Amino acid sequence: MDIVFIEDLRIDAVIGIYDWERRIRQTLSFDLEMAFDNRKPAATDAIEHTLNYKSISKRLQAYVESSSFGLVETLAERCADIVREEFGVSWVRLKLSKPGAVRGARAVGVRIERGTKPE
């Protein structure tokens, strides 16, 4: 199994359950790992055969910037759905971090895996 990854994709969003959080934008960090067979793109050296991480990044950025969820859990689930459904990814591991949300911690958040991980 091959993995295409996106690391530390930073996107500003309205996220949180407290009133003060609903009035500001906070920077979130996304790490994604996606199962993809890279043999065809490697053989053809053609971008149209790849899992285009730029397209995925731009799509998630547009979605997250326009979203307004209370929970990081909800946002993570929706982003995993987008990756799987719109980009045909069979398995994704997504880590969503909310830096500075808890005093003394660099970040808090969730890590989810969705789909069937190929062997």
Catalytic (active site) residue 98: yes
The DSSP code for 100 is: T
How distant, in Å, are the alpha carbons of 23, 27, 36, 43, 44 from that of 39? 47, 35, 9, 6, 9
Q: How far apart are CA 2 and CA 10, in angstroms?
A: 24
Of 40, 58, 95, 98, the active-site residue reads 98
Q: How far is CA 51 from the centre of its chain?
A: 14
Q: Which residues are catalytic?
A: 98
